[in-house]
Amino acid sequence: MSKVTFAIIAATGAAAGAAATAAFYSTKKEQLPTPTIATTTTTTSTGARPQVPVPAIPSPAAVARAPPVDPNGLFQYGFPGPVADLRPAASLTSSYDRRTRNPAWVAEHITPESLRSNNADRKHSVFVEDLTIPEMFRAKLKDYFRSGYDRGHQVPAADAKWSQEAMDDTFALSNMCPQVGDGFNRDYWAHFEDFCRRLTHKYPSVRIVTGPLYLPKREADGKWRVSYEVIGQPPNVAVPTHFYKIIFAEDGKLGGKVAVGAFVLPNDRIANSKPLQDFEVPIEAVERASGLEFATKLEPARRSRLCQEMECSLIIKEYKQRQKNFGKN
């Protein structure tokens, strides 16, 4: 599975089975046996007594057909969740995880035309809280204040220069996760985002899904544990241990070929000399780790491996120079 190694422990709750059982018994009505009444036709004769009809005794199965409880009655008070706050915006679509106060995934689409357009300026965009998310579950600007982490774009602003609205959409905190700044968000991760944009030199349509992961780490006692920092006062926003990108590079033809690449990077300083392919993983590894599915409708015959079709490597640019160039663009 490449050089990135992690363990995925999946648990299947009994709640699913219980819910299915309750639904089965609440919807499937068992046919009751038709009661049979014993009747007798008699003729009158001296001293004969008429027979009294005897009702049939219901079977035990008929008596026990309805369960004595109704777990689904809870829904009269509301549905507990989990709730995925879906945000369709001009430049992205995201699904928000209320528990971690981070997006679960953010999807974008870039093309040569969209990247050529230059109708937005980053200096006019500001970080904002996503008011479509209930206040008690919302990531807030103050959560990041003096946290030591960058507000890390999942869909980068540089991918949305085709309109000011599109760029502004990328500055909502529902498109952010806490990211290590020096050595990652401002360096290796930014080079990785540039790699994704350069894919449009070869492919006319590129779709990217980005999001956080919270992966287990083997500790000194030999056991695997998931441990991550939480920032904010009170602690609200989880700091991911890793980030993933799933790339679908399309040939532009209806039902055409799609080159797929999946990458998992640690939320930590990464030397610019580190080869990008060291972070390539099977897409199934990201699915197991995230609990998400990305390509269930993509037939194997249409799929190819991105890093077999082209060289997956970074072009390193100094952060200050990249910011200067971005300002010019």
Closest of 65, 117, 64 to residue 91, by C-alpha: 117
CA pair distance 139, 151, nearest whole angstrom:
11
Beta carbons of 211 and 2 less than 8 angstroms apart: no
| Upstream peptide bond of 234 is cis (omega within 30 degrees of 0) | yes
CA pair distance 69, 22, nearest whole angstrom:
9
Active-site residue identified among 109, 124, 153, 242: 153
CA pair distance 129, 172, nearest whole angstrom:
6
Beta carbons of 243 and 189 less than 8 angstroms apart: yes
185 is known to lie in a ligand binding site = yes
153 is an active site residue: yes
Backbone angles phi, psi at 151, to 5 degrees: -80, 95
CA pair distance 69, 316, nearest whole angstrom:
63
Residues marked as binding for Mg(2+)? 185
List active site positions: 153
Binding residues are 185
